[in-house]
Amino acid sequence: QVQLAESGGGSVQAGGSLRLSCAMSGFMYRSYCMGWFRQVPGKAREGVASIASDGTTTYADSVKGRFTISKDSASTLYLQMNTLKPEDTAMYYCAAAETKGWVPPSLCIAETGYNHWGQGTQVTVSS
């Protein structure tokens, strides 16, 4: 059974940094997409960053140059968030999906296709 658990959220002032972690268990696929998504109440969930099994990373335009997605060998996914802005305030979710070979980066950061999700961690950025 695949389980994902986020941690690292919290409250920070604008310009600050946070690092989110996503501990994964039971996810043993060699070909995959993993990603971070966020959602604000009343709005659709959006892709923030993704990483494919070949190491390709993709970012939403709103976070390029500020956020970095990475994964360690112990199946923990990270999202380093720097220069945070109030508009980054949201519930952040990690997700994972097995893929059948190469997937275009635009699909790897899309919510569609992800079938394993964490419970979310709240990030609040004050001005």
Q: What is the DSSP string of 81-109?
A: E-S--GGG-EEEEEEEEE-SS---HHHHT
- What is the C-alpha separation between 4 and 91, in angstroms, rounded? 15
Instruction: Over range 3-11, report the average pLDDT.
Output: 97
pLDDT score of 74: 76
pLDDT score of 127: 95
pLDDT score of 115: 95
- What is the C-alpha separation between 31 and 82, in angstroms, rounded? 29
- What is the C-alpha separation between 81 and 101, in angstroms, rounded? 29
Kindly give the residue spans of alpha helices, DSSP state H, lying in 5-120: 105-108
**Which DSSP letter does residue 114 get?**
-
pLDDT score of 101: 85
